Amino acid sequence: MQQKQTNTLRILQFAPYVTNSYFTRNKTGFGMIVWEVSKNLAENGVNVHLFTYQFTNDAQIDGVIILSHKPLDVIKSFDRTNLFHNLNILRDSEIPMSRKIRILRYFLTEGYIKKIIYQVKPDLIHIHGISLGTLPFINAAITSNIPFVLTLHGLNSFDSNIPISSYERNLEKKTIELLNSKGITITVVSTGIKDIILNHFNIVNPEKIVVILNGIDYEKFQLTISKKILRKKYGIPEDKKVLLNVGSLCKKRNQSSLIDAILRLPENIREEVICFIIGEGPERERLEYLIKVNNLERTVILTGYMDNKKIIEYYTISDLTVITSTSEGFGMPFVESFACGVPILAFEDLDARKDLYNEKCMMLVKERDVETLAKGIIKALNSSWDSSFIKEWAKGFSWDKIIIQYLELYENLKGCK
């Protein structure tokens, strides 16, 4: 890590939720990345305050100050300034009632968010994501007259497999254009996302769209135990070719295409392959059906949710990580796989490709059809890969390097009105 800052920055981070050992309900890549950003900033001497919609007492974890959030706090700080406008949003949108109730709770929190900004008096506010849930953060930041930055961890507008309403898709576009017109800096986690924004939105300040990639704690992925011993631990024969897919079981992750591609492998190759799909989600039942109806129970295994330690072991025993997502803002499985020395097979049209691709680490599939994906799997498994080179490539995405970019951005924005 770099040396700690002598002039301590006070940063107020806002996110709908985070994922760590303290907050375990929402287990997503977004939640993990927000936490890693906060934690690594604190390790670099930044005074980090973090507020989420998760109910909690005041706490300090890994140097990050978690701000209290209780129902009574919200009630005491109720602010009706934007309430009627927000109620009209919910009334006119086709969002399911269960989600409307949750979003209404977010809207009612805006007064408390303003109070937190006043109490913390940050040098800068950092908001993660654009959604109905982050509107109260954005509104409060705008009215505070404190400089702020917003990070987009992905774009939801262009992927029909992401289950959001048409109102929410349009909201993302309008919010990006509004903030850009006000000169607010928006960071994005890949060059691909920046290109989409510049090409499809009305952007008047292109220099305010800044690429800062996600990072990885490289050392955590360096195991002392060998691949051979790990395979023995999990009962996997040494002659098997192990495929891996990591991510929530949802339409966006598109694991069904991986199952279909495996089904299209020649029988002699399919018998040599075992595929582990790690994660949980709404598509599990359908994936289980596809596996069963095609008699792939011994070939494709849904492992369910795993903790990070076990996931690292599964990366280590694998020969190839296959990423089938219909969209990826950045995609942590890319760099996690690299850190374990395991090559990637992915579709060429993913947003993060420009930042992550190296021909010695990744093979790309040009057409989005299962026949081409199956051919890609065969080609990748029969190719020679240098595990040491792949691991070295992963070092370029270490949090040490990423956090320096955030610190430089914060320093440039600090004190700007």
Neighbouring-strand partners of residue 195:
none
Asked if the model's pLDDT at residue 202 lies above 80, the reply is yes
Q: Return phi, psi of residue 262, to 5°.
A: -60, -40
Q: Which of 59-68, 192-201, 268-277, 348-357 has the lowest mean pLDDT?
A: 348-357
Mean of pLDDT values over 254-267: 96
| Structure confidence at residue 245 as a pLDDT band (50, 70, 90) | very high
pLDDT at 170: 85
- The rounded distance, in Å, linking the Cα atoms of 318 and 336 is 12
Asked if the model's pLDDT at residue 2 lies above 50, the reply is no
Asked if the model's pLDDT at residue 157 lies above 80, the reply is no
Lookup: tokens for 376: 């890609």
pLDDT at 3: 41
> Which one has a higher pLDDT value, 87 or 317?
317
pLDDT tens-digit profile of 103-151?
788 888 889 999 999 999 999 999 999 988 899 999 999 999 899 999 9
Lookup: tokens for 239: 């002659």
- The rounded distance, in Å, linking the Cα atoms of 298 and 262 is 12
Q: Identify the DSSP state of 62.
A: T
Lookup: tokens for 261: 């591609």
Q: Which amino acid type is present at position 168?
A: E
pTM: 0.88
Residues found in the chain: 417
pLDDT at 1: 39
Distances (CA, A) of 72 to 51, 104, 140, 345: 16, 16, 19, 50
Angle, vertex CA 223, rays to CA 217 and CA 227, nearest 5: 130
- Domains, the chain, in order of start with CATH, read 10-215+398-413 (3.40.50.2000), 218-396 (3.40.50.2000)
| Structure confidence at residue 241 as a pLDDT band (50, 70, 90) | very high
CB burial class (10 A; 0-12, 13-18, 19+) of residue 158? middle
pLDDT tens-digit profile of 297-317?
999 999 998 988 999 999 999
- The rounded distance, in Å, linking the Cα atoms of 312 and 227 is 11
Mean of pLDDT values over 24-52: 92
Angle, vertex CA 327, rays to CA 324 and CA 328, nearest 5: 90
- Describe the crossing of helices 83-92 and 97-108 by its angle, rounded to 10 degrees: 170
SS3 269: helix
**Ordered strands of the 241-246 beta sheet:** 300-304, 273-278, 241-246, 320-323, 344-347, 362-365
b/e burial code for range 74-111 (CB count within 10 A of at least 16 → b) = beebebeebeeebeebbeebebeeebbeebeebbbbbb
Measuring CA to CA, which residue among 318, 330, 326 is closest to residue 377? Answer: 318
pLDDT tens-digit profile of 159-174?
666 777 777 788 899 9
**Ordered strands of the 124-128 beta sheet:** 59-61, 64-66, 47-51, 10-14, 124-128, 148-152, 185-188, 209-211
- The rounded distance, in Å, linking the Cα atoms of 415 and 417 is 6
Give the DSSP H/E element, type plus range, for residue 343: none
246 CB-side CA count, 13 A: 23
pLDDT at 326: 85
Asked if the model's pLDDT at residue 208 lies above 60, the reply is yes
List strand residue ranges (DSSP E) for 15-94, in order: 47-51, 59-61, 64-66
Residue 350 CB contacts under 8 Å (≥ 6 apart), including other chains: 192, 323, 325, 327, 328, 331
